[in-house]
Amino acid sequence: MSATENRPPLPPFTHDAATRKVRLAEDGWNSRDPARVALAYTADSRWRNRAEFVTGREAIVGLLTRKWVRELDYRLIKELWAFGGNRIAVRFAYEWRDDAGNWFRSYGNENWEFDQQGLMALRHASINDLPIGERERQFHWPLGRRPDDHPGLSELGL
Q: Which domain holds residue 41?
A: 15-156
In a domain, 147, yes or no: yes
Query: In which band, very low, low, confident or very high, does the pLDDT at 62 lie, cut at 50, 70 and 90?
Result: very high
Flag whether 8 is in a domain: no
Burial class of residue 88, CB neighbours in 10 A (0-12, 13-18, 19+) = buried
Condensed to tens digits (0 to 9), the pLDDT of residues 66-124 reads: 999 999 999 999 999 999 999 999 999 999 999 999 999 999 999 999 999 999 999 99
Residue 85 belongs to domain with CATH number? 3.10.450.50
In a domain, 137, yes or no: yes
- Cα dihedral 90/105/47/40 (nearest 10): -70
> For the chain, what is the domain count?
1
3-state secondary structure at position 41:
strand
